[in-house]
Structures are given as C-alpha cells and as structure tokens.
Chain A
C-alpha cells in the first residue's frame, strides 16, 4: 500500500482498531512513508484520547424504571376503570329508566347525577391540562 493509497477510511479503521493484523502492517508501512498521514493520525489520536476522557458516570438514583413502569401500566388501569364505569352507568341507566316511578323524581335525580358527572369531567380535564404543562412533574419530591 502506498502512502497515497492510504485513504481516510483505512486511517480511521487503524485508529479504532478495526483492521486485521495483516492490514495493520500494510497501513503502518504506508504511514512510515507519509509524514502528512502520520501528522493526521497523531491529531486524531489526541482527539480520541480527549473524547475518551469525556466519559462520565451518572450518580445512582431510582433510575428511569419507575417512570417507565408507570407509563406502561397506567393506561391498562385507566382502561379497566373507564370500562367498569361505563358498564355501571349503562346498567344503572337501564335500571333507572325501566323501574316504575314518578317522572318528576326521575328527571330531578337524572339532573343531579348528570350535573355531578359533568362537573367531575370538567375538573378532571382542567387538572390534566395543568399537569401536562407542569415543568416539574417529573421531579422527585
């Protein structure tokens, strides 16, 4: 391999230890013939050494598992809860409508129940919107 044939890719593979022993020997022979290639290699070696020194270890804390687990399991909980509520509401409405009784009483009870439900949904929506905008929601207290 001539110094001219020693391309950037071969230089990178040599630097990163990605060459076979035979290829390494050929690259080293080409490096001996080229001052420019040796200079470039030295520059990349220094850069690699400094980048390697950037390594860091993060202090041990609870990790992300707790938050990941919440995101995996909560949708299932919500789904079961909502299906259960829908079934109860459906059955309750059916019983309420089919049970004999005075129309005025039924309308008044229906008004109270529907009004409470609307209020509950409105408050829950408001709380959810505030939570999604809270920049500190992931901060452990």
Chain B
C-alpha cells in the first residue's frame, strides 16, 4: 500500500467511517500477527493482542500525526498491548507456535522426515530460549529478526534513540545465547 493511499485511508477513518479501516487492518495484519506471535508465543494470545491493538489504534486515529507512517505507530500500540497482557495475570509467554495452525516456511529446500524432525527440535529449542529471556530483550529480537525492521523503525516503535537499538540488540543476543547455553545448546 502506497503512503498516499494510506494517508487518505487514515484521513477517512479519522472521520469515523469504519469501512476504510478494513484495507489498513488487512495490510498490517500479517506483520502484526508475526510480531504478536513472537511476543506472546501462542496464536490465541497473539490474536487477542492484535485485535485489541487494532481497536485501540482506531480509537486513537484522531491523534495520529498523518505526516508519520502508520506502521511504527501501530507497532508501538501493539507492543504496548503485548506487554500489558504479559504483565497482567491473564497471559504469559507460552510457546505453542509450532502447532498445526501455524505452518513453517515453505521455501525450505531441504526435505525428509529426519531433517524435518531436527529442524523442528532446533526451532523448539530457540522458542524455549526466547521464553526464558526478558520481554524487553524478546521484543527487540522479534522486531529485528522476525520483522526485519531497520534500526530507525525499531527506534520509532520502542521510542528510544537509534543509538540505543544496537546496544539493546547486543544485550538481547547475548541473553539469548546464554539461555541456549542453559538449555544445553552450546553453539546455535
């Protein structure tokens, strides 16, 4: 979706017409769900967080600065929603992303049941390690590695100076490495 189209849709949504919100929701749903899954670890909580974030974004569209792009602003709302849910007693990071409702990347050229089992075990180990690190470390790793966001956008989502992103990523990666070591996986 082009920035001009996006701006126009947001302008119409701010006028209260929910029909124009559908293309925005559909455009940002895949990336939002990926982030929420990375943060929450299971589809049920991820869907709840995503739904709440879209509703909150709608309720605050009047305050949205149309000179900015929608993505970092929306991800800021979604990130806060995920953190609020994780802080509340209702949800906690729970690894269930490898269930049948989520399919793995189709582009993997290697096939065979043995190799598939190994990959599955390696992925599960990584998810367990992600479960062990702090929410702050997990969120920056998800933004960088699953969303492939540049530092500038990560800084906008986390509301920190761009210089802080590299430092936080270093500590997050170290924490993940230590968690993997703790799980008996010396080298990733």
Contacts and interface: CB of A to CB of B under 8 A. Distances in A.
B93 to A, nearest CB: 14
Interface stretch (B3-11, B67-75, B81-89, B142-150): B142-150
Contacts of A52: 145
A69 B20 CA distance: 11
A68 B25 contact: yes
Interface string A65-78: 10111011100000
A138 B47 contact: yes
Interface residues on B, range: 35 or more
Contacts, number: 113
A8 B151 contact: no
Chain A residues touching B, range? 20 to 34
B21 A72 contact: yes
Q: By DSSP majority rule, is chain A's interface helix, strand, loop, or mixed?
A: helix
A41 B135 CA distance: 24
A53 B170 CA distance: 19
Interface string B34-76: 1001000001000110110011001000000000000000000
Given A48-B145, A58-B43, A64-B50, 4 more contacts: A46-B187, A47-B173, A68-B54, A138-B48
Interface of B: 18, 21-22, 25-26, 29-30, 33-34, 37, 43, 47-48, 50-51, 54-55, 58, 97, 101-106, 119, 122-123, 126-127, 141, 144-146, 150-151, 163, 166-167, 169-170, 173, 176-177, 187-188
Interface of A: 8-13, 16, 18, 43-44, 46-59, 63-65, 67-69, 71-73, 138
